[in-house]
Structure 1
Amino acid sequence: MKLKLISSIFILLGYNSFAQNAKTDLSDSLVKDKQVILAKYVPMANGEYLYKGYQIPIDSFINRVNDFRADFNAQIAKDKLSDLSILKEKDVMFYSYNVLAHYQIYYGMDSVGMENFGKVVQEKRGEPNFYKLIDSAQKKAFPKRLSNDERKRLDDIIRKSTDLNDAALFKTSAAYRTWLNDYLKGVQRKKYLADTALGYGGDNVAMLKVIAAEISDPFIKEYLLYTFTGTVIKSVKNAGAKESAYKDFMAGTTNETYKKGIMEIYINYKNMSSNAVSPDFNYTDINGKLVSLKSLRGKYVYIDVWATWCGPCKAEIPFLTKIENDYHDKNIHFVSLSVDRMADKAKWISYVNDNKLQGIQLMADKDFSSDFVKKYNINSIPRFILIDPTGKIVSGDAKRPSDPALRKQFDSLLK
C-alpha cells in the first residue's frame, strides 16, 4: 500500500511519466459535463479536485457521490431511448466509482505537506538518504488516513461490478475504460504475479496474461492486447519479453490496423537496437530558429526529451546542467526537446528563460505525436537518446544525467 500511495503522490504532483495512448476509434459520447455536475457535490475548480475534498469524512463523501448519481439519473430517466439510457446510467455509475477510487487514494492529503513533498523530490534527489526523506515527507503530506475497514468499504463499492465485457459501453465510455483498466490491474496484483526479473515493466507483461484469461469479449480483448503489447515493446527492457509479446500478438489477431500499428512499434524498436541511422528532426529553438538533427552531425548528440509539466524531467535538470558544464568543451551537443503542447509554447519559453536552461532548447511540433518522438517509441518521459557523430543511434534509451554510468560512458566516448 505504501508504494502505491507514494506512486500516487507522484502522479498528482505531475511527477509521473507520461504514457502515450494508442490510436483508437473509441469515444466518450454518452454523458457530457459530468465534472460540471460533480462540482456541485465535491469541491472542485476548473475540473480539478480541491484539497479540502480530501478532508471530507467517508460517510459524507459517499453520500455526496450518491447524490451526484441521483442527479444525473433523474435527467437520464427523461431520455426516451431506453438502450441509450441504460448505457448512460452505466457511464455515470463507473464515473462515480472512479471518483471514489480517487478519494480513497488521496484521502487526508494536506496542501502544505504536499508542497514540502514536492520540494524534497526536486531538491534532495540524489542524496544518500533520499528515500528516508521521501518517506518522512509522505507522512506529513497525509496526516490523516483511512482505516482498513474504511478502505474495504470503498473497495466493496468500487469493485461491486464485475461486468468486464460490455463492448458497447467500452466503445463509448471513458469512465468504464478507466475503471476496467484499474480493475484488471488489481486482478494482476492479486492473481498474476509479475516476473521480478523484468523490473517495473513486468506488470505490463503480466497484464497480457490477465487480459487473455479474464476478458471474453472479442473487441475489448483485442483492443487491450493491442494496447499492452505496444506498451511492452516500448517500455520493457528485456528483449525476450518484447519478442514474445510481438509474436504472440501478431499470431493471434486478425485486425490489420492493429497489426500495422504493432509492427511499426516493433520496427522502431529493432532500429534502435541495430545501430541504425537516427530519424531526423527539424524543430524550432527557443529563439524561433529551425534546427535539424543532421545539422548537428560531427559531434555526439545527447537528447533530453522532457516537458515543463513533468516532475521527473525537472528533477534531472540540475544533473544535466552539471554535465553540460563539465563536458562543454567536448565533442558533444546537448539538446533538450520539449514535448509540451504547442498551446503551452509561451509557458515553455518562460520556463527555459526563467531557469536559465543551457544547451540547445527545442520544441517538438506535435508533442507526443511528433514523428521523431514516435520513431523512438517514446511512451514516457523523461527519455534520453544518444547519437554518434555520424548520425547513428548509440542508445535510444540512454542513461539519465543522475546516473553515474552516463559519465563513464561519456568518458569512454569523448576521449
Structure 2
Amino acid sequence: MRNIIRAFRLERIKGRHTRTWLIMLLTAWLLPLLIFIFTLTLDRDPEMYVDKVVTSWFDQVFKGVSAFGMLFLPMAVVLLTAQVNSVEHKNNTWQLIETQPIPKWSIFIAKYCRVLVQVLAVILLFFAGQYMVYAVLYKLLHIDAKYYSLAVSWGDTLAYILNLFAGAMSFMALMFVLHINIRMTNLLSTCAIVSLLGYTMAKVFFPDIPAWVPLVQLEKVSGGISEVGAWLNYYARLSLVQSVFILVIGYLFYYYRNYKRYFFKQYGTLAFATATVLLGAAAAYWLSQPRYQSSYGRSVLAGHIDTDTEVKELLLVSEDGLPMAAIPVQENGDFRLLLDSLDIPMARYSLLQPVNRQPVTAYKDKPSAFFMTNGDSVHLYIKMRNGFTDMDISGDRRAESGAAAGIGFSNMEQLKWKIENDRIKGDEAAFLEQLEKSYRKDVKASGGYTTIDGYAVAPDVSGRNITLLNLKALSLWELYGKMKSKPELSASDQFGFINRLREALDFNDVSLVAREEFADNYFRYLNRNKEVTDLQKPALLEQIKDDRVRDAMRYQALRSLLDNNALDDSLVLAMYDAEIVKISSARYRKALTTDYASRKARTNFAVLPEFVFEDENGAQQSLRQFAGSYIVLDIWASWCPPCKANAPYFYDYADKFKDKNVKFVAVSVDQHINAWKTHKTRNPNIVNWHTSFSSDFIRYFGIKGIPRYILISPEGVPLQHELPMPGQSGFETVLKQYIK
C-alpha cells in the first residue's frame, strides 16, 4: 500500500500544471448549460409548464444524463487516460520513472487510480453543475414552483452517480490499457474521439443501430438506476467484472513492455494470460445469457397514488378496454387488489379513472400498460397532479412491460406506414422480401430486450410476441393487397413465407383476442382467407369450439358492429339483441352495455332535456338559451390529443359561420377546472362551458370517447349525434346541409 501511495503522489506531482482540470470543468460545467439552452429551444411554447406534473430536480437533470454518458463522459475518459500516460510517451521517460524504488505494479495501479479519481470528479461536477445551472435559470425565468421543485432525491442521485462511475470502468480500463501500452498517444486519442463522434452522429440519424461494443455498459447505465433497489444495476456490475480482466491483460503487457519477445517465451506468463482471456470470455458469456425474473410468490396488484384530487377508485382494464375489476383507493392513496379470485390471462393491462374514463398514462417512453397474469405481483406508483399523470411500474414482469413500450414492433409499423402512403416499390416478391426483413428485425428486437437489471422477456411472453408478429405480418400482407387492388393475394397459397406464417398460428390463446390483428386474422381464417364484413362475423363464430375464445371473439365482433357508423342503427341494434344472449360471460355482457347505450342514443331524436353546464365564472348555463339557433357542440378535454388537433379547425368554422344562425359551444370534460380554464379558447365566436364526464348530458348521448361533435336544431332536437371531425371535409358539408 505504501508503494501505491508513493506512486500516486508522484503522479500528482507530475500532473500539476496540466490541462486536466480544464478538461474536467468544460465537460462537467459547460454541458449542463448547453443542454438547458437546447431544451429551451425545443420548448418555446409559452404554456410549456402548464400541463406538467410536479417534478423534482432529480427528474429534470436526467434529460442530459444520456448525452453525458454516451458522448461527453467517454470523451473525458479518452482525454484523461491519454494525459496520464502522455508525459512518459512523449519524453520517453518510462525508464526514468521505473528507476524509482517502486514496483511496476504500483505504478500501474497508481496511474489507473488517478484516472478513476478524475473521472469520478467529472461525474460529481456534472451533477453539481446541473443543479446549480437549473437553480439559477429557474430563478431567472421565474418558473412556478407549483410545477417544478428543486428538491434533491439524495438516495437516487447517489445511486445514479455510482452506476455511471461503475458503468464507465470497463471503458476506462480499455482506454487506460491502450494508452499505457501504445506510444502513439495523440493518434490513439484522435481515433477514439473521432469514433465516438461518428458513433453519436450515427445514433442520432439511425437510433436502431446496435450499441458500440466498448460503450455497451455505459450506454445502458445512462438509462436509469436499478428497478429492484440495488445500488448497482446489472450492467454496472458487468462493467466492473470486465474492467478486472482488461486490467490484468493490460498489466501483463505493461510489465513486459521492453521485452515483448521475451514475454511470449515465458510459458507460465503466457499460460496465465491465455487462461485469463478464456476465463474472462467465459464469464462474459455467462453474464450475457438471459436472466428471467423470479416471481415474488404473491398474486396481487398494489401501489400508491399521489394526487391533488380525490380518487376513490381505479379501474383495471384489458388491452381491448374490457373492465376486469374495480380497485378501491384508500384515503392515504394506497390500493391493493388480490388476483387469486380473478381470471387474469397473460396480457397487457392498464388503469382507468372511472369518473372520466381517462387512462393513467406514463411520461414519455415509460410503459403505461403492464404485463400481468395470475401468480404475478405488480406494484405501481402513480402521480396525478395539475391534470397530468405519470406512473412507475415495479415488481414482476418489468421486462415484459418495458419491451412492450420500448419495442412496439417498430419495423413492422414503419412498413405499414409505407404501404398506407404508397411508398412500396416493386412487385409482390419485392414487398415480401421487405416484409420478411422487417419481421426478422422485430423478432430479434423483441427477443433481445433486457431491463436495466438484466432481466429478459420471459419465454411465455416471447412466444406471444412471435405470434403477434405473425399476425401483424399477415395483416400487412392483406393491406398491401388492398392498396394494390389485388385482394386475391390474401387468399393465395403461392408464397412460402406467408404460408409458413399461417401454419405457425395458434388461435387457442384467449389473451390474444384483444389484439386487432388476432381477431381480423381469425375471422379471415374462418372465412377461408377471404375478407369478412361486420355483418358476416356472428355467423362465422359458430365454428369456434373453445367457449372462452368464442365468447371473447363474439365480444370483439359486437364491439366492431356497434362502432360501425356506416350501418343502419336499427339493423345494428337488432343484430346485437340477437347475438348478446349467446355470450355466456357476464363480464363481456356488462362491458358491452356502454357501447350499446352509445349506439342506441343515436336513435334518440326527441327534444333534449334541460342539461346544466358551468361557465368560467361558475354560473349555471343551459342550451335552451340558444333556442331558435343551430348549435354545434365540441366535447373535448385538455388531455386529449385528437381534441387539440381538431380545435384550430373548429375555431375556423366558428369564424366562418359567425354571421349565420348558429352557435359554436366548446364543452370541456376536464376533471381539473384550472386545466380547462388554461386551455379554453379565447375566440369570441365560441362559448366555453364545462361539465363532468359522468353528467346526465354525457350519459344521454352515450359519449364514451372524445372529441365528439354534435349538431342540434333550433328546436332543440339532435340532428347529428356524431359529426365528422372538423379536420375532415365532411364536417363543413354536413353543416351546409342544415345551416343556410
Instruction: State the partner residue of 2:374.
Output: 87
Q: Give the AA of the match of 1:377.
A: G
For the 8 Å contact 1:336–1:362, the answer to whether it is kept is yes
What is residue 306 of structure 1 aligned with on the other side?
Answer: 636
Whether 1:347 and 2:680 are equivalent positions in the alignment is: no
TM-score by length of 2: 0.34
In the alignment, the residues of structure 2 paired with residue 102 and residue 205 of structure 1 have an alpha-carbon distance, to the nearest angstrom, of 34
1:387 CA drift (Å): 0.7
Q: Structure 1 pair 376/226, CA: closer, same or farther in 2 (3 Å)?
A: farther
Q: 1:350 to 1:234 in 2, by over 3 A?
A: same
In the TM superposition, what is the alpha-carbon distance from 1:221 to its structure 2 partner? 5.5
Structure with more relative contact order (C-alpha pairs < 8 Å, separation 6 or more):
1
CA distance in 1, matches of 2:727, 2:556: 31
SS at match of 2:716: coil
State which of 421, 439, 442 in structure 2 corresponds to 1:151: 442
Change (3 A) 1:250 1:105: closer
Shift of 1:303: 0.7
- Secondary structure of the 2:546 match is coil
Q: CA separation in 1, counterparts of 2:735 and 2:629?
A: 12
Matching of residue 249 in structure 1 with residue 585 in structure 2: no
Letter in 1 for 2:297: I
CA distance in 2, matches of 1:188, 1:104: 22
2:299/2:375 contact within 8 Å kept: no
Q: Secondary structure at the match of 2:617?
A: coil
Deviation at 1:268, TM superposition (A): 5.2
Q: 1:286 to 1:211 in 2, by over 3 A?
A: farther
Taking the aligned partners of 1:394 and 1:324, their CA distance within structure 2 comes to 18
Q: In 2, are the aligned partners of 1:234 and 1:379 still within 8 Å (CA)?
A: no
SS of the counterpart of 1:88? Answer: coil
SS at match of 2:599: helix
Query: 2:602 & 2:559 partners in 1: Cα distance?
Result: 15
Question: In the alignment, which of 662, 673, 690 is matched to residue 363 of structure 1?
Answer: 690
TM-superposed deviation, 1:191 = 3.6
Partners of 1:357 and 1:103 in 2: CA distance: 43
Give the Cα separation in 2 of the matches to 1:158 and 1:257. 24
Query: Aligned ranges for residues 2-401 of structure 1 at < 5 Å?
Result: 70-71=292-293, 73=295, 75-76=296-297, 87-89=374-376, 96-105=399-408, 147-153=438-444, 154=446, 156-159=462-465, 181-182=514-515, 185-193=516-524, 216-218=546-548, 222=551, 225-226=554-555, 229-230=558-559, 232-239=561-568, 242-243=572-573, 245-253=575-583, 266=596, 269-273=599-603, 275-340=605-670, 342=671, 344-352=672-680, 356=683, 358-365=685-692, 367=693, 369-401=694-726
- From the superposition, tell whether residues 56 and 97 of structure 1 become closer, same or farther in structure 2 (CA, over 3 Å): farther
Q: Give the number of aligned pairs.
A: 302
1:19-75 C-alpha deviation (Å, 9 max, x unpaired): xxxxxxxxxxxxxxxxxxxxx9xxxxxxxxxxx9x86959999x99x99984452x3
Residues 246 and 262, structure 1, Cα contact 8 Å, conserved in 2: no
Q: Give the match's secondary structure for 1:362.
A: strand
The answer on whether the counterparts of 1:280 and 1:293 sit within 8 Å (CA) in structure 2 is: yes
CA shift, 1:301, in A, is 0.9
Residue aligning to 1:138: none
Q: Offset at 1:299?
A: 1.2
Q: Which amino acid aligns with 1:362?
A: W
Q: Is the 8 A contact 2:651 2:683 kept in 1?
A: no
- In the superposition, the TM-score normalised over structure 1's length comes to 0.56
Indicate if the aligned counterparts of 1:337 and 1:362 stay in contact, CA closer than 8 A.
Answer: yes
Give how far 1:411 is off.
Answer: 3.4
What amino acid does structure 2 have at the position aligned with 1:359? I
Unpaired runs of 5+ residues, structure 1, are 1-39, 41-51, 109-130, 136-145, 167-176, 195-201
Secondary structure, counterpart of 2:703 in structure 1: coil
CA–CA distance in structure 2, aligned partners of residues 379 and 335 of structure 1:
19
- Return the alpha-carbon distance in structure 2 between the equivalents of residues 150 and 210 of structure 1: 34
The CA deviation at 1:396 is 0.3
Q: 1:111 matched to which residue of 2?
A: none
Residue number in structure 2 paired with 1:124 = none
Cα deviation code 1:212-259 (max 9, x no counterpart): 7668355x7647745763563245431277246413333314677876
Counterpart residue number, 2:121: none
Describe the shift of the 1:230–1:102 C-alpha distance in structure 2 as closer, same or farther (beyond 3 A): same
Distance 2:640 2:409 in 1: 20
The percent of aligned pairs where both chains have the same amino acid is 20
Q: Does the 8 Å contact 2:608/2:717 carry over to 1?
A: yes
Structure 1 pair 265/335, CA: closer, same or farther in 2 (3 Å)? same
- AA of the residue aligned to 2:566: K
Contact persistence 2:443–2:466 (CA under 8 A): no
CA gap of 1:402–1:149, structure 2 versus 1, over 3 A, is: closer
The DSSP-based 3-state class of the residue aligned with 1:400 is: coil
* 2:731 pairs with one of 384, 406, 414: 406
1:82-124 alpha-carbon deviations (Å, 9 max, x no partner) = x79982249877774453233222759xxxxxxxxxxxxxxxx
Cα distance, 1:227–1:379 mapped onto 2, change above 3 Å: farther
Once residues 57 and 357 of structure 1 are traced to their aligned partners in structure 2, the CA distance between those partners, rounded to angstroms, is: 54
